[in-house]
Amino acid sequence: MTATVSPNNLTFTPLSPDLRLKDILKTLPKECFQKDMRKAWTSVLTNILMVGLGYVSIAIAPWFLLPIAWIFTGTALTGFFVIAHDCGHRSFAKQRWVNDWVGHLFMLPLLYPFHSWRLLHNKHHDYTNKMDVDNAWQPFRPELYASLPKTIQLAYQGMRGRLWWLASIVHWAIMHFDPSRVDAKDQNKIRLSVAVVIGFAAIAFPVLFVTLGVSGFIKFWLMPWLVYHFWMSTFTLVHHTAPDIAFQEPEQWNAAKAQLTGTVHCDYPMWVERLCHHINVHIPHHLSTSIPSYNLRAAHQSLRENWGPYLYECRFSWPLMKAITDQCHLYHPTECYQSFQAYKRQTLS
């Protein structure tokens, strides 16, 4: 039976330690891996139309409807990121130069350096939920947390708690403008992408300030950008975090287990799913990044039929986010996570 229960009482059927990723991938239909340029470019055109519609709604909406316009536009801009995400995985087009050009262009409004994100994100895929190696939402070890200055501890508490929706901004600012975070052979690619982003901002922001003023900058760029980061923070947190999904010690880590059972399929409202190109159908994407976003649902249906007992599925809701932000704080070797409250009780005892 596929796991559709709450994240607090999910149990997994044990996987064979000899299971390999290719054993799982062999069960997926070959059609799931095929690129369809009509579908790819249709998603591009549709997404541009939705973002344009969003900005028109911001321009004409009375003040009391602006939050709705910001939410719609920011969610549509998240779709821009997902298209660039396909480009980063080379699952958008067959030609690398097309992937690079489209990826850069669609990340520009979000101020994301394409190559920087691509290279760092690929490390996450290579080492999903591998403790001390994965670079996405890895929980701090208690001893590391204890060694940090109080201000950093408080910031970490916020990012792991009710301020989770700001975590993507922190990750963007710290991780994606530093070429030293990748191998020397790739650092010039990051410098190129950073230069492209800075060049765009150097033109677009002054134009916004001159033509629309500070209020226009906030209204047309900052608020949709914050909505985008809300979704980025939420999507990426939920993709791999639940009270009973463990990060593995390096010596215990198994790629097939991590990608199949350490990745969460979460159902969001359909308008979010469509604007964001079904990126939250996330388990097949982690099994193979070569599956285009428009084939993820077909791939997931195949996984349900062949690997149903191993799939972790849930629905986006406040109880889900409350469970994650109340419990999933610090690494624990046997209980997956230790909450800040439990850690405090332990240190005081």
**pLDDT at 348 (0 to 100):** 86
Distance CA(185)–CA(200), nearest Å, equals 25
Average per-residue pLDDT in the chain? 93
**pLDDT at 317 (0 to 100):** 96
Number of domains in the chain: 1
Classify residue 249 by its DSSP letter: P
Specify if 90 maps to a domain. yes
Specify if 135 maps to a domain. yes
Taking residues 160-169, report their average pLDDT. Answer: 96
Q: Which residues constitute the domain of residue 157?
A: 35-348
Taking residues 317-345, report their average pLDDT. Answer: 95
pLDDT tens string 124-138: 999 999 999 998 899
Specify if 12 maps to a domain. no
Specify if 88 maps to a domain. yes
Specify if 68 maps to a domain. yes
pLDDT tens string 248-273: 999 999 999 899 999 999 999 999 99
Q: How confident is the model at residue 15 (pLDDT cuts 50, 70, 90)?
A: confident
* Whether pLDDT at 17 is above 60: yes
Taking residues 298-315, report their average pLDDT. Answer: 95
**Bridge partners (DSSP) listed for residue 336:** 332
- 260, 15 contact by CB (below 8 A): yes
Specify if 288 maps to a domain. yes
Specify if 27 maps to a domain. no
**pLDDT at 13 (0 to 100):** 60
- What amino acid is encoded at 185 in this protein? K
Choose among 41, 103, 44, 24: nearest CA to 284. Answer: 24
pLDDT tens string 25-84: 999 999 999 999 999 999 999 999 999 999 999 999 999 999 999 999 999 999 999 999
Specify if 11 maps to a domain. no
- Secondary structure of the chain in the HEC alphabet? CCECCCCCCCCCCCCCCCCCHHHHHCCCCHHHHCCCHHHHHHHHHHHHHHHHHHHHHHHHCCHHHHHHHHHHHHHHHHHHHHHHHHHHCCCCCCCHHHHHHHHHHHHHHHCCCHHHHHHHHHHHHHCCCECCCCCCCCCECHHHHHHCCHHHHHHHHHHHCCCHHHHHHHHHHHHCCCHHHCCHHHHHHHHHHHHHHHHHHHHHHHHHHHHHHHHHHHHHHHHHHHHHHHHHHHHHHHHHCCCCCCCECCCCCCHHHHHHHCCEEEECCHHHHHHCCCCCCHHHHHHCCCCCHHHHHHHHHHHHHHHHHHCEEEECCHHHHHHHHHHCCEEECCCEEECHHHHHHHHHC
